[in-house]
Amino acid sequence: MNADSLATTEPVHELFGVGSPLVDLVVSVDEAFLRTHVQGQKGGMQLVDAEIITAIVADGGIQPVMAAGGAASNTTVGAANLGIRSAFIGSCGADDYAQFYRSALKAQGCHPQLVEHAELPTGRALSLVTPDAERTMRTCLGAAAALDPAYFTPAVFQGAKVVMLEGYTLFNRDLTRAVARAAKEADCELALDLASLEVVAANREVILELLDGFVDLVFANVDEAKAWNSAGPEAALEDLARHVPIAVVKLGKEGALIQCRGQRVHVAAEQVEAIDTTGAGDSWAAGFLAGHLRGLPIAQCGRLGALAGAAVVQVMGAQVPREKWLGVKGYLDAWA
């Protein structure tokens, strides 16, 4: 096992993402195909074997759009495009998918600090996108699930300002706690995205543990908020904000609610024609964190989140074209 090392001549990274390096496979399907080939709730995520993903793609008869993905990776890549010095830490295989992944991050200006496992395949995530632009995910973690908690010491994050931890890591409690402790000991803020309603339902106890002792910023969408507090998004926001300095509930087309140390704001969504919501929440977090790292007020951070989220839903997959990121970066540079 070895890791891509950081060159001593590189500037200190402001933002680290920690999570699962997954090659995204995005396929457009109709509602009938989804009902026939996928069990479970539409819009959710389930862990499956690689063979199941292969079979679904084959039955669809469409070549998927392929991109480097994973929630924390998407966020750090987005932030890198907005001028934030960013790096992503995750575990991959020693295969062509890993080479593709590493090259894709470098091309976006994000440093891939990848731990390699020769005996395991690089993970992949299938997004089935229906005509309403909603995505239902089936994920094979592969090597992504083998990241060693012992890798994380305060030295890993030394000099950084924010560590972004994706919610899917919550299924590995030891890893989650190791990242959280290392981030705090390195004097970093810890941001947590709740990832999916299934993640919230299965990990409520450890989420509370993190919120009360480690997390500084928490992101949830409507479904995750309802899974946290069945009374609804506003009640969930209020509850989350009792535990952390900054809480965000993203409302899709209705914008987002943000609460920071007693101050609550509503940020409107950009009105665009969405063709695929894959990665929308990840990009929203990238915009918000970019503003936060530049010291902007929370309303302007939320506005950047809305602009970044709008950019990604207008394309297939989670990768935003460079020219669209430049437009969002223009707003950031003007405000900062």
Q: What is the pTM of this model?
A: 0.87
Q: For 138-181, how does the pLDDT look when each residue is reduced to its tens digit (9 = 90+)?
A: 988 899 999 999 999 999 999 999 999 999 999 999 999 999 99
- What does DSSP assign to residue 21? -
- What pLDDT score was predicted for residue 321? 78
Q: What one-character-per-residue DSSP string does 202-240 give? A: H-HHHHHHHHHHT-SEEEEEHHHHHHH-TT-HHHHHHHH
pLDDT class of 314 with cuts at 50, 70, 90: confident
At residue 54, the pLDDT reads: 86
What does pLDDT average to over the chain?
A: 91
Rounded distance, CA 57 to CA 63, Å?
Answer: 8
> Helix axis angle, 298-313 relative to 280-293, nearest 10°?
150
Contacts of 68 (CB under 8 A, 6+ apart): 21, 23, 24, 77, 100, 101, 104, 105, 319
Provide the pLDDT for residue 3: 53
* Sign, CA torsion 145/44/198/47: negative
Check pLDDT > 80 for residue 92: yes
Does residue 6 register a pLDDT over 70?
no
What pLDDT was estimated at residue 45?
82
pLDDT of 123 higher than 80: yes
| pLDDT reported for residue 63 | 86
Domain boundaries, the chain: 13-20+70-99+109-116+145-335
* Amino acid letter, residue 99: Q
Architecture of domain 13-20+70-99+109-116+145-335: 3-Layer(aba) Sandwich (3.40)
135: pLDDT strictly greater than 50: yes
Structure tokens belonging to residue 153: 């010491």
Of 237 and 168, the structure prediction assigns the larger pLDDT to 237
Listed in sequence order, the DSSP H helices in the chain are: 31-37, 50-60, 71-81, 96-107, 173-185, 197-202, 204-213, 222-228, 233-241, 280-293, 298-313, 322-335
Q: What is residue 7's predicted lDDT score, i.e. its pLDDT?
A: 38
